[in-house]
Amino acid sequence: MQIAPPTPTPNILVSTSSHLLNTKLSLYSFLVRMDPIVATPISESSNITDFVITNRNGVKGLSEMGLKTLPKQYIQPVEERITVSNILPQESIPIIDMSNWDEQKVSESICDAAEKWGFFQIINHGVPIEVLENVKDATHRFFNLPAEEKRKFSKENSPSNSVRFGTSFSPEAEKALEWKDYLSMFYVSEEEAYALWPSACKDQVLEYMRGSEPVIQRLLEALMKRINVKEIDETKKSLLMGSKRINLNYYPICPNPELTVGIGRHSDVSTLTILLQDDIGGLYVRGNNDSWVHVPPISGSLVINVGDALQIMSNGRYKSIEHRVVANGSKNRISVPIFVNPRPDDMIGPFPEVLAGGEEALYKQVLYSNYVRHFFKKAHDGKKTIEFAKI
């Protein structure tokens, strides 16, 4: 018997309409294919790797070759594939209306969702729709550039370590690659961004980051009050939101999507992640036991999730939850996450305010850059990264 995820509190709006259910099921009907599929490589293994990774054509270049079967490098182990049997279509993460930021029930809903789910969607958050649409258009514009233009931002060619075009997650460490290309940009300053970020997207990305700043601050203020942090001083501000990184993610059409993943099981290493997704869908959040809950696209919404850094600083009060992205067999999908992080040279651990009542610390003090390095040196592996900080 499958056990349903926690029931949201009455102050949190949860969509359970039949329309939403039908959308969930129809978007992922490919998951119930019963005919056996044998994926065969289109070429030698080394040629595929060179084309996608070494020559930086990305998986988009592979997709555009019109593949009929999935190259073997992308075939995930059976236990890493999502199936219709472990999806809970009747469940949904909380949806919070932020129209009245200052109402106590809004703050309570945010904290309840962060404690019980680690994921929630917000609507009426104040970031203009046109800003969201512009950054989505800019994402498509970048990935539609010729391969030689995108290649200028690869590890070998990028003008800065702060800007990186790549594919999968950590290809050197992965036994099976993920069906995703990305552009990752570490925000240092607007001056540096204007100088180094791709012209195809930098204006729209910066506009989106500026528009999201009040949302981030309000969310963190609410979350801190619940754990007795009365004021976010400069030290706390550095720990909570001292640095930011934004990704443009591109998931091209995939042959045999049921055999691979867009992104494998993981939790983020951020304090908070602010995610903008398009209308395609494909993000799943871990429910109870081995179940998964779809995060349906809602026009104008932002998806918020707790990262490992906040789980550590709250001593486990707020939960960073495993999530994943499925591949799609008929549509190209994009997403744009902003990762709100401590500074790389910050030491993170449970806040003293959290432990003031005698609560035992669950996590040690760790250098944030070491924690992030540990995350990126291996393939996605669920929640295992948090073990690095446990006492």
Please state the rounded mean pLDDT for residues 58-69: 92
Please, which residues have CB within 8 angstroms of residue 131's CB and are 6 or more apart in sequence?
204, 207, 208, 211
Provide the whole-model pTM: 0.87
Please give the angle made by the CA atoms of 317, 320 and 326, to the nearest 5 degrees: 155
- The pLDDT-based confidence of 27 (bands split at 50, 70, 90) is very low
| pLDDT tens-place string over residues 238-296 | 999 999 999 999 999 999 999 999 999 999 999 999 999 999 999 999 987 778 999 99
If you average pLDDT over each of 22-31, 78-87, 143-152, which comes out highest? 143-152
93 dihedral zone (left: phi>0; alpha: psi -120 to 50; beta): beta
* Count of all residues that appear for the chain in the document: 391
Please state the rounded mean pLDDT for residues 371-380: 93
| pLDDT tens-place string over residues 180-228 | 999 999 999 999 999 999 999 999 999 999 999 999 999 999 999 999 9
Please state the rounded mean pLDDT for residues 89-117: 93
Three-class secondary structure of residue 105 per DSSP? helix
CA distances from 298 to 113, 311, 353 (A): 18, 27, 36
What dihedral do alpha carbons 121, 126, 128, 133 form, nearest 10°? Answer: -20
- The pLDDT-based confidence of 46 (bands split at 50, 70, 90) is low
Confidence at residue 17, expressed as pLDDT on a 0 to 100 scale: 34
Amino acid making up residue 75: I
- The pLDDT-based confidence of 15 (bands split at 50, 70, 90) is very low
Residue 131 burial (10 A CB sphere; 0-12, 13-18, 19+): middle
- The pLDDT-based confidence of 6 (bands split at 50, 70, 90) is very low
| pLDDT tens-place string over residues 299-309 | 999 999 999 99
pLDDT at 16 over 90: no
pLDDT at 18 over 70: no
What phi and psi, each to the nearest 5 degrees, are found at residue 292?
A: -130, 145
Please state the rounded mean pLDDT for residues 157-184: 93
Instruction: Classify the C-alpha dihedral 109-282-5-341 as positive or negative.
Output: negative
Contact call for residues 321 and 195 (beta carbons, < 8 A): no
Please state the rounded mean pLDDT for residues 1-12: 34
